[in-house]
Amino acid sequence: MSFSDQTARALTARALTAQTDGRVPGLSAGVARRGRLEWFRGIGTIDLASPGDVPDEDTQYAVASNSKTFTAVVIMALRDEGRLGLDDTVELHLADSSHAGVTIRQLLSHTSGMQREPVGDVFDTMVMPTREELLAGWSDAERIGRPHERWHYSNLGFSVLGEIISRLDGGTWEESVRRRILEPLEMTRTGTVPGGRRAKGYYVPPFADVPIEEPVFEARAMDPAGGLRSTPTDMARWGGFIADPVEEVLSPDTLEEMCQPQVMADVRGWTSAWGLGLQLVRHEGRFWVGHTGGWPGSITGVFTERPSATTGLIMMNNSAPVPPAAAAIEMGTTAIEREPVEPEPWEPGAELPTDLVPLLGHWYSEGTHFVLSVRQGALEARVAGQPKEQPPSVFEREGTDRFRTVSGREQGEVLRVQRDAKGEVSHFNWATYRFDRRPMAFGQWL
């Protein structure tokens, strides 16, 4: 599948706006579905010494803080393996840490209160710390806020997560990322070392139009926070994974957990929140998951709308272009609106469990009308009239007359079927609340 000419023209117009407004020497823009680029446009040149060398799908950029999403996935995989807990404190894994009570969950969600960068004015010296310097600096760093008081971005925190990965998983952070993520997803052009076709980084001064070449330097111990380089093709594949993760890399349930808001970053507009290592953005009624990245000479944004598996991405070789999240999300939105994903066709079920038949139909609790139904043999519950795009509660059987809510409203809670003296279903309790066939006030059944 590829997008229509009309959609391609609209996307190209948006990409050109980003390139001209951001004065980007070489811009890559793309929209992917299920991990595959359906539209791509390169504008400008990857190297001013070669004016006709237009960026392509294989052009490598520093994706910078998009690296944090890879770090977060490895941390969550280690959690699933029982090798750490999200509420473990750093000193449990790094005995030489002098900061007590900083948890892995806080570092993932930028709620630890730790200062933003490693000590030593690293972006002044342009020399990033070694692992030994990072850990010594961690103990010297300030905790400038109380835990969970507010969102405060910390590259230092994610660098420490990388050190935890190294100690638990053996080898370096990059080796863990390569073995656990890059190789299974066949992201062959992603890594910390520049290689192959790549965009040279520039800074375009605000009052002149002659770009200045930015320096190239290693992130070293800050790799887990911002050291990766990648291409549009590889990052499209990463967006496909975010939409529909493969068990070999991470459980889909765990990826869903990572998308649950931990803290609101935009406390005025409530349009941007943080999950566990993932930025969550609300835009025109849709929710996008991803991250931005900023490194001298490279600004990137990669965001995915999970229900449609649509990823918008933008890569720009200018240190100060247009905001990347907005550009990527707007391109993704254009694709969704102009090229909507076809819904999965309805398929008939093969069997209706006989013990579920008495539960089907209309029920009431606290004056609210619910409808219970069966789809593909599983019991589901919806509030009557709720928008169809909102998922139902889905139940799994735990025993006779006992079900567990495995997704949707009241996830984790138990539904217990109650029977009268004749053994017929009289009502049920879900999350302890009584559900009856008749709308009743509290206690009216007594």
Q: Phi, psi (5° rounding) for residue 86?
A: -65, -25
Task: Domain 21-338: give its CATH superfamily.
Answer: DD-peptidase/beta-lactamase superfamily (3.40.710.10)
Q: How many CB atoms neighbour CB 337 within 10 A?
A: 12
Could you tell me if 167 and 260 are in contact, meaning their C-beta atoms sit under 8 angstroms apart? no
The per-residue pLDDT for range 227-283, each reduced to its tens digit, is 999 999 999 999 999 999 999 999 999 999 999 999 999 999 999 999 999 999 999
Its pTM stands at 0.95
Specify the pLDDT at position 80.
98
The per-residue pLDDT for range 72-120, each reduced to its tens digit, is 999 999 999 999 999 999 999 998 888 989 999 999 999 999 999 999 9
pLDDT > 90? residue 338:
yes
Instruction: Tell me if residue 307 falls in helix, strand or coil.
Output: helix
Give the CA distances from residue 409 to residues 403, 413, 426, in Å, rounded to whole numbers and listed in that order. Answer: 14, 9, 23
Helix (H) or strand (E) holding 385: none
CATH class of the region 354-435: mainly beta
Same fold, 21-338 and 354-435: no
Specify the pLDDT at position 1.
60
Helix (H) or strand (E) holding 277: none
Q: Residue 165 carries which side chain, given as an amino acid letter? A: I
Q: Phi-psi bin for 309: left (phi > 0), alpha (psi -120 to 50), beta? A: left
Domain segments of the chain as ranges: 21-338, 354-435
Q: Which residues of 151-190 are buried (b: 16+ CB within 10 A; e: fewer)?
A: bbebbbbbbbbbbbbbeebeebbbebbbebbbeebebebb
Strands 61-64 and 279-283 come out as: unpaired
Determine the Cα–Cα distance for residues 370 and 382; give it in Å rounded to an integer.
Answer: 6
| Unique residue bearing structure tokens 């050291």 | 227
Determine the Cα–Cα distance for residues 34 and 299; give it in Å rounded to an integer.
Answer: 24
Q: Which of 393, 436, 439 has the alpha carbon at shortest distance from 418?
A: 436
| Unique residue bearing structure tokens 């029977």 | 419
Q: Which of 86, 84, 130, 41 has the alpha carbon at shortest distance from 312?
A: 41
* Residue 295 neighbours by CB under 8 Å, 6+ apart: 62, 64, 201, 226
Specify the pLDDT at position 389.
84
Q: Which of 64, 113, 97 has the alpha carbon at shortest distance from 300?
A: 64
Instruction: Tell me if residue 352 falls in helix, strand or coil.
Output: coil
The per-residue pLDDT for range 135-166, each reduced to its tens digit, is 999 999 999 999 999 999 999 999 999 999 99
